[in-house]
Amino acid sequence: MFSKTSKGDVVMKRLIAATAMVATSLSMTAAKADDDMVFVGHLMDITGPTGFIGKFYADGVRDALSYINTHGGIDGTVLDSESIDYAYKVPQAIANYKKWLSRNDMVAMQGWGTGDTEALISFVAKDKVPVYSASYSGHLTDPTAKNPKTAKPAPYNFFYGASYSDACRAMAQWAAEDWKSSGNSGKPIFSHIGDNHPYPNAPKEACAEYATELGFEVTAPIVVSMKPGDFKAQCLTLKEAGTNYGYLGNLGPSVVSLVKSCDTVGATPKWLANIWAGDYETLKTIGDVDNYIFPAMTSFWSDEGVPGMDLVREISKMSDSSGEEFRTHHYIRGICSAYYMKEAMEWAKANGGITGENIKAGMYAREMWVPKGLEGVCMEATWTAEDHRGINTVNIYKGSAKGGEPSVEKLTTVTLPRRDDWLGY
């Protein structure tokens, strides 16, 4: 696609091409054309079935990469990057990955969905390309396949946050305590609700097993499309089952449709939403809801007294010069993901050069690690060569909305054990 002339020419051609594609190339204004440069691919979904939320996370990654470049890059090395909307289509994600690897000598990638990230596990391991996904599938956390339940080792997969499985386990633990503290007796009933798709399925078995361990009665999973629709039939199934706590595995319009459909038939369990289904935008779109529980892995835009929020607000100005646009915690997690990658790259540059292998080694160089400048925003994380569960602590929030006005309040923090049988699962 691009002739191998000067690095400056390559960047300029890519910037021009971005105007004709659903892609964005970062500005290289922070460095001279002859400075060192490495390429980072960025897969995003802004028009596909997860675009309702994907656009916020994508903006966080793009703004962070732009800000890094305008503030010296990786100790002088420029991050050349291309952001491509693959519309949540796995074949398109794989095609873009291969293109970037062969044409751009990609050293790392910021990824998105579970289906594509899991499909690429063996590719990125063979090619030694660290992938920082927005999929928090527990299947990505076992780098050596030590757990017999792990389908395949994932040594080059990283993500910022607790896995879907651990977040669901934390909410199930909260629910068990909530059931008892509310004066109830007998076994509470738990249901998994989501599409038959890698993303909602990722924590299904793991969370059901732990819910059973905690004393829940677990129903058969209830299948709900990731596309919005009339889900009264599924809601009646929930009602007939007597579900007290329903895990929401989907996101966006699908979840909005489900909650509204259930309200019309009188099915009102306490909702346990996965991290992509818990946010102001979803609550606002539902309009009226209470007892909507969800996990979070960062501070919120409106939080006061958080030192790292100053940097978040400066990064936000890369696409909103006014600094007034409200940012979801999905946007902020995108920043955290980019900054863990940034600091691993800095370590790599100081220890042999910015290569995939060295970036991976950089992910193991620190413990209880928060990127500089993001204190209080990103949670402390530790990755090791045997365990890619960077975070096992989950902040749990209650969301509600009245007349379309959303509000959230923190309920508790759950720190989960690093059980061997939960690794990669």
Together in a domain, 356 and 226? no
Q: Give me the percent of the chain exceeding a pLDDT of 70.
A: 92
Whether residue 387 lies inside any domain: the answer is: no
Q: What is the pLDDT of residue 197?
A: 96
Together in a domain, 245 and 178? yes
CA dihedral 77, 37, 109, 141 (to 10 degrees): -40
Q: What is the pLDDT of residue 26?
A: 44
Together in a domain, 89 and 224? no
Q: What is the pLDDT of residue 6?
A: 41
Any idea how long the chain is?
425
- Is residue 316's pLDDT more than 90? yes
CATH of the domain at 223: 3.40.50.2300
Inter-residue contact 409 to 288 (CB < 8 Å): no
How does DSSP classify residue 7?
H
Q: What is the pLDDT of residues 63-89, one digit of tens each?
A: 999 999 999 999 999 999 999 999 999
Cα distance between residue 344 and residue 17, in whole Å: 30
- Is residue 32's pLDDT more than 70? no
| Domain ranges, residue 252 | 166-296+393-422
Q: Total domain count for the chain?
A: 2
Whether residue 2 lies inside any domain: the answer is: no
How does DSSP classify residue 139?
G
Together in a domain, 157 and 171? no
Boundary (domain end) residue, out of 362, 382, 407? 362
- Is residue 376's pLDDT more than 90? yes
- Is residue 17's pLDDT more than 80? no
Together in a domain, 37 and 136? yes
Cα distance between residue 378 and residue 375, in whole Å: 6
Whether residue 368 lies inside any domain: the answer is: no
Q: What is the pLDDT of residue 92?
A: 98
Q: What is the pLDDT of residues 171-219, one digit of tens each?
A: 999 999 999 999 999 999 999 999 999 999 999 999 999 999 999 999 9
Inter-residue contact 204 to 263 (CB < 8 Å): no
One-letter amino acid of 87: A
Together in a domain, 11 and 150? yes
Cα distance between residue 11 and residue 38, in whole Å: 11
Confidence of residue 151 (pLDDT cuts 50, 70, 90): confident
Q: What is the pLDDT of residues 252-295, one digit of tens each?
A: 999 999 999 999 999 999 999 999 999 999 999 999 999 999 99
Whether residue 372 lies inside any domain: the answer is: no
Q: What is the pLDDT of residue 149?
A: 87
Confidence of residue 23 (pLDDT cuts 50, 70, 90): very low
Together in a domain, 280 and 311? no
Whether residue 147 lies inside any domain: the answer is: yes
Whether residue 201 lies inside any domain: the answer is: yes
Inter-residue contact 226 to 49 (CB < 8 Å): yes
Together in a domain, 119 and 24? yes
Q: Which residues contact 362 (CB under 8 A, 6 or more apart)?
A: 343, 344, 345, 346, 347, 348, 351
Cα distance between residue 324 and residue 156, in whole Å: 37
One-letter amino acid of 204: K
Q: What is the pLDDT of residue 18?
A: 37
Higher per-residue confidence, 32 vs 109 = 109
Whether residue 57 lies inside any domain: the answer is: yes
Together in a domain, 181 and 311? no
Together in a domain, 399 and 355? no
Of the candidates 390, 360, 406, which has an alpha carbon nearest to the alpha carbon of residue 167?
390
* Cβ neighbours around 404 below 10 Å, total: 11
Together in a domain, 106 and 75? yes
Q: What is the pLDDT of residues 396-419, one digit of tens each?
A: 999 999 998 999 999 999 999 999
Together in a domain, 76 and 214? no
- Is residue 101's pLDDT more than 90? yes
Q: What is the pLDDT of residue 345?
A: 98
Confidence of residue 35 (pLDDT cuts 50, 70, 90): low
pTM, to two decimals? 0.91
Whether residue 375 lies inside any domain: the answer is: no
